Chain A
Amino acid sequence: GAGVSQSPSNKVTEKGKDVELRCDPISGHTALYWYRQSLGQGLEFLIYFQGNSAPDKSGLPSDRFSAERTGGSVSTLTIQRTQQEDSAVYLCASSTPGQGGNNEQFFGPGTRLTVL
Chain B
Amino acid sequence: AQSVSQHNHHVILSEAASLELGCNYSYGGTVNLFWYVQYPGQHLQLLLKYFSGDPLVKGIKGFEAEFIKSKFSFNLRKPSVQWSDTAEYFCAVKISGTYKYIFGTGTRLKVLA
Contacts and interface: CB of A to CB of B under 8 A. Distances in A.
Contacts, number: 53
Contacts of B36: 107
A40 B105 contact: yes
B44 A48 contact: no
Contacts of A105: 46, 101
A42 B9 CA distance: 11
Nearest to B104: A42
A108 interface: yes
Interface stretch (B14-22, B71-79, B92-100): B92-100
B45 A101 contact: no
A67 B103 CA distance: 21
B45 A107 contact: yes
A107 B32 CA distance: 18
Interface of B: 4, 6, 9, 32, 36, 43-46, 49, 51, 90, 92, 94, 96-106
Given A42-B90, A44-B103, A91-B44, 19 more contacts: A3-B43, A31-B99, A35-B103, A40-B105, A41-B105, A43-B90, A43-B101, A43-B103, A45-B101, A56-B100, A97-B99, A100-B97, A101-B94, A101-B97, A102-B32, A102-B51, A107-B43, A107-B44, A107-B45
